[in-house]
Amino acid sequence: AQWEAKGYSTAVMTSTVGRFGDYWVYDGGALSATDELNSLTSPVVYISSGRVSPPVNYSARIDEQALRDLVQHIAKYLHLINQPQCIWPIIGWFFAAPFKPVLNEARIRFPLLNLYGSKGSGKTSTLLKVMLPIAGYIKPYSQDCSTTHFVLMSYMSSTNAVPIYLTEFRRATLSEREYSSLKRILLQMYDVGHDARGRQNQTTQSYELSAPVILDGEDAIQDAAVMERSVIVTMDPIAIVDSSPAFRHFAKLTERQDLHLIAGKYVQTTLKWSAEQVEAEWQECFDELGKVFPPGVPDRIKRNLATVRFGQLRYVEF
């Protein structure tokens, strides 16, 4: 109160990483569309809650020529590291993820990304070595999908725009309780639902389940409600066998260990988009899909793919 009375600057506090209006907030600073801010200059400040949080960094301080070289390197190889029907939905989903809060405000739900395929099909390597670093992860990691409901809840509420990676989905290894818990979390995530847990002092804490979520495993999730809220990508080990073009392109792409350095610059480009522009561009993507999909495809599936298409265009643009 004394600080405020003296007219000193104040800031909004959050323990969620991601987009808040015109700012992108993370542990270590914040970004606007043009500047890199710290906890003393940003109007929104990240304060750790002590719970799990994605280990990301969006420092935008990179030499212009170095950034150009990195972007050209990624653009040369990224779309070739797997079959087009596999890699392009993944690219689109990841590059749409920073827009998730804006899409949600326009009542456009953000789908689950469900990758499945047998061992050796490239699920984990694609995510941990390529896509999560490009999304800003310094130390990419996954969370086992069979963990407790409380851990899943903390994980899903730690961010509103940074992809969260759940792995090792196999229906046969999950108990009925674990499977029900996972399904509930995924359905709540799609609608940005809230879950509450009691504390020992008889108060409750509410968790906003707002993260964009990836689920991978040897099985695709078979629940009809979850499937309809998902972008499902089947991955085949045949496509990435040793000496295949995809294998060689993946090796070339991952020669660089600094893929994460584009994340801050890309995030800044997303902050330049107004809510009206995002909604209008997404609607164009939806209308485009309506012309190429046959009648009878559920509206929700077309909406999910319109979000992926929106992300693909943002990637190409960037």
What are phi and psi for residue 93, nearest 5 degrees? -65, -45
Are 155 and 52 contacting, i.e. CB atoms less than 8 angstroms apart? yes
Strand partners, 198: 204
pLDDT per residue, tens digit, the chain (318 aa), is 777 788 777 888 998 999 999 999 998 889 999 999 987 888 898 988 777 788 999 986 788 899 999 999 999 999 999 999 999 999 999 999 999 999 999 999 999 999 999 989 999 999 999 999 999 999 898 888 877 878 888 888 899 999 999 998 888 888 888 888 888 888 888 887 655 554 554 455 667 888 999 999 988 888 899 999 999 999 999 999 988 999 999 999 999 999 999 999 999 999 999 999 999 999 999 999 989 988 888 899 999 999 999 999 999 999
Sheet holding 36-37, edge to edge: 18-20, 23-26, 29-31, 36-37
- Which of 291, 132, 139 is closest to 212 using CA atoms? 132
CA distance 78 to 126: 10
- Which of 123, 126, 112, 114 is closest to 156 using CA atoms? 112
pLDDT for 28 equals: 82
Sign of CA dihedral 82, 85, 86, 92: positive
Residue type, 32: S
CA distance 91 to 131: 8
pLDDT for 286 equals: 96
CA distance 110 to 230: 9
pLDDT for 198 equals: 47
The 3-state DSSP class for residue 273 equals coil
* Helix count and strand count (H, E) for the chain: 13, 13
pLDDT for 130 equals: 97
